[in-house]
Amino acid sequence: MEHLKRLFDIDPWKLTTTTLHKDDFRLQESLTSIGNGYMGMRGNFEESYSGDHHQGTYLAGVWYPDKTRVGWWKNGYPEYFGKVINAMNFIAMDIYVNDTKIDLATQPIEDFYQELNMQDGILSRQFKITVDGLTINCRFSRFLSITTKELAVIQFKAEVLAGEGTVKVVSRLDNNVQNEDSNYDDRFWETTDAVDNDTALFVTARTIPNNFGIEQFTVTGLMENQTANDVVRSSEKSSLATAETLVFTVKQGDTIAVDKKVILVTSRDVAANEQLATAQALMDETNQQSIAELTQAHQQAWAQRWALADVVIEGDHEAQQGIRFNLFQLFSTYYGEDERLNIGPKGFTGEKYGGATYWDTEAYAVPLYLALTDSEVTKNLLKYRHNQLPQAQHNARQQGLAGALYPMVTFTGVECHNEWEITFEEIHRNGAIAYAIYNYTNYTGDTSYIKNEGLEVLVEIARFWADRVHYSKRNDRYMIHGVTGPNEYENNINNNWYTNYIATWVLKYTLENYRAFQSEATVTLEAAELTKWEDIIAKMYFPVDNELGIFVQHDTFLDKELLPTTALSASDVPLNQNWSWDRILRSCFIKQADVLQGIYFFGDQFTTEEKQRNFDFYEPMTVHESSLSPSIHAVLAAELGMEEKAVEMYQRTARLDLDNYNNDTEDGLHITSMTGSWLAIVQGFAQMKTFDEQLSFAPFLPKSWDKYAFHINYRNRQLHINIDKEWVTITLKSGDALALTIYGEEHELTDTVQIALKK
């Protein structure tokens, strides 16, 4: 597929451009998003911009239950749709040159330059503008501190190149924001009288009341606008906004600068009536350090992250930029500091999809965080689900079923999405929750979670499956009807091979662990329950086609008109933007091949021939319109020695957003699928596997690359893996010696193992 749109230059550590892409401004904003796990925002300009754009600042865990209903609400539907909401615009700094408001959408500028530095998360921009004979060079720079999560620093600097007059900066904290998808211009913020203070530049806002018993969030922003220049200040407060105006009188050769510091606290951490005091204390504390020192601390923290996680690619700058962009955005979204949070599909870069927690976390993010961060980060992701077990039980009851059903989309654990074919039917997600427990335990060797919390989760998920299957008398088999698999281009299908497989696996794995940890477990199973589970395991129906030698996606898949994606024309794709839903559903084309997803998850349970036949059957029909799809194909293609296909799939996942493959990055980045490029390199190209607690590699080097290298954290060890044109070099950077397998041969890693690259 051609590159649809590439706005930024190729650079190993940066996104840079000298073009203001007015026609693709939303895309430019998405790609320049920054975040610190606590808050984040799209690459909106500090000063007002009147052109088409998408203003978006988001606070982790701050959301709203959307009351919009449509006529065909079904029984059992959630009462509300949980929405990520746009929060206070706190970067705002309107600039007036000789009383003309600067607006890059309408005014001519020169020397535009924008840069997102992925090494330290600093977004900067400059341009030259002339108004009434006064020419200034403006520079903005901002970061969200990863050392003090409540802190944002926005710096403005202007050099006067010619002329004289005034430069006015209006620095704002503004809650007059709304969502892109608001119906009827619905707003979410109201004023509050929680605190009052005449001197501090702050604003406190609260989400408006709702009828669903969802907590109202209160947020306080406090700012200081520091400058070393002579300035005339004034300020103004309204119910939802606070502004400070700074007027500078300037002439050629002058340089003025405003350092805006913002502290943002929310009622998730601080009670409403204490927020101003807390914010003030944090402000005072950070004022002990200069802006330069604060910046340096932030940069060092990013350097530490990269030291554990960086992937180096030589010989392919596009690929290098892609993988770093993905890791940068992932860590900007989530770095495991808060077990009440999870990884939203758009992170802090957009509003689409509502909700903040999807199965993506367990299926795609867990393996990456396991390898690149401390195991506590992943454990927090697992605890998040354990904490929400009561809500998952509630979800199952809503469907009249036993056990626990983890939600498709949620903030609190209660399902908050309203599409029956997803909410009610895309229940395979429940399997991924269990799989993450297996993944964590198998990867880390730490059984404490499964014993203390995991088994409770597993048993309740198993109970759900045992109730959700039905017995088909005429087949003498258990079946699962009415599901949507990971391939969301088919809905309400029967006996989705993937769902049936993972459901059966959950029952097996739960039984196994229940028996292993029974004496220590806090759950007890009845004998009848065990017998029922065993019966289901023995008699589960799996659709297969013996002639083709494949697992069949679902009962009637092979009755379709079976065509390869090469039969599609350019005007057909992406299908979801060109075909009506019914046509997509009855076509053979696959958004994400779920049989292959199952083979990927359970890679030790299938022969190479089985993998090959299924890959050869499903891959040609897969359109990869799920951002989660290509990485899995990359991993399998690599295992099957199909290097070209693996590299093609890598490229698609690595630069999905940078090259706007799916033509929807303007809505925000595909955060959760950003793990895909890492999976493609590490589990694909390097064939790292950990089945049965055995670490193994079987690397190849893409033809156009000179080398690639990555780190992993494995069972309290830091390993560095380097693959160049000749050698596979694995170095133990810290921790005890380790037995590992390379190309099927066992090696003892004490310091470095180097063996020849297989070609």
Could you give the residue numbers annotated as active site?
488
Q: How far is the CB of 353 from a copy of itself (least distance, A)?
A: 7
Tell how far CA 638 is from the center of its chain: 24
Phi-psi region of 45 (alpha: psi -120 to 50; beta: other; left: phi over 0): beta
Phi, psi for 58 (deg, rounded to 5) = -135, 145
Task: Tell whether residue 592 is among the known ligand binding residues.
Answer: yes
3-state secondary structure of 229: coil
577: tokens are 């933007």
Pick the closest to residue 590 from 531, 539, 650, 632 (CA basis). 632
DSSP state of 99: T
Residues in the chain: 759
The H-or-E segment that residue 31 falls in is helix 25-31
Q: How far is the CB of 574 from a copy of itself (least distance, A)?
A: 10
Distant-in-sequence contacts of 746-749, Cβ < 8 A, 24+ apart: 749/719
> For a copy of itself, which is the closer residue by CB, 401 or 732?
401
Amino acid (1-letter code) at residue 710? F
Identify any residues that bridge with 248 across adjacent strands, giving them in sequence order: 167
Q: How far is the CB of 396 from a copy of itself (least distance, A)?
A: 10
Pick the closest to residue 297 from 118, 140, 119, 146 (CA basis). 146
Give the C-alpha separation, 450 to 453, whole Å. Answer: 6
Q: How far is the CB of 406 from a copy of itself (least distance, A)?
A: 15
> For a copy of itself, which is the closer residue by CB, 421 or 610?
421
Contact set with a copy of itself (CB under 8 A): 67-72, 74-77, 81, 181, 183-184, 186, 352-354, 398-400, 418-422, 424-425, 470-475, 479, 481-482, 491-492, 494, 555-556, 558-562, 576-583, 585-586
Q: How far is the CB of 545 from a copy of itself (least distance, A)?
A: 10
> For a copy of itself, which is the closer residue by CB, 495 or 677?
495
Q: Give the CA angle between residues 183, 186, 189 to the nearest 5°.
A: 150
Task: Tell whether residue 126 is among the known ligand binding residues.
Answer: no
Task: Tell whether residue 360 is among the known ligand binding residues.
Answer: yes
Residue with tokens 């026609």, as numbered in its chain: 23
Residue with tokens 């220049």, as numbered in its chain: 229
Give the torsion sign (CA, 427, 429, 433, 435).
positive
Residue 239: other Cβ atoms inside 10 A? 13
Q: How far is the CB of 624 from a copy of itself (least distance, A)?
A: 17
DSSP state of 665: G
The H-or-E segment that residue 30 falls in is helix 25-31
Peptide bond into 574 cis (omega under 30): yes
Residue with tokens 């939600």, as numbered in its chain: 407
> For a copy of itself, which is the closer residue by CB, 383 or 481?
481
Q: How far is the CB of 399 from a copy of itself (least distance, A)?
A: 4
Q: Answer for the pair 677, 631: CB distance below 8 angstroms, yes or no.
A: yes
CA distances to 650, 682, 724 from 703, in Å: 13, 16, 11
Pick the closest to residue 666 from 46, 56, 13, 17 (CA basis). 56
Q: How far is the CB of 83 from a copy of itself (least distance, A)?
A: 8
Sheet of 312-314, strand order: 312-314, 707-713, 718-724, 727-734, 752-756
Which residues fall in the annotated binding site for substrate?
A: 359-360, 591-592
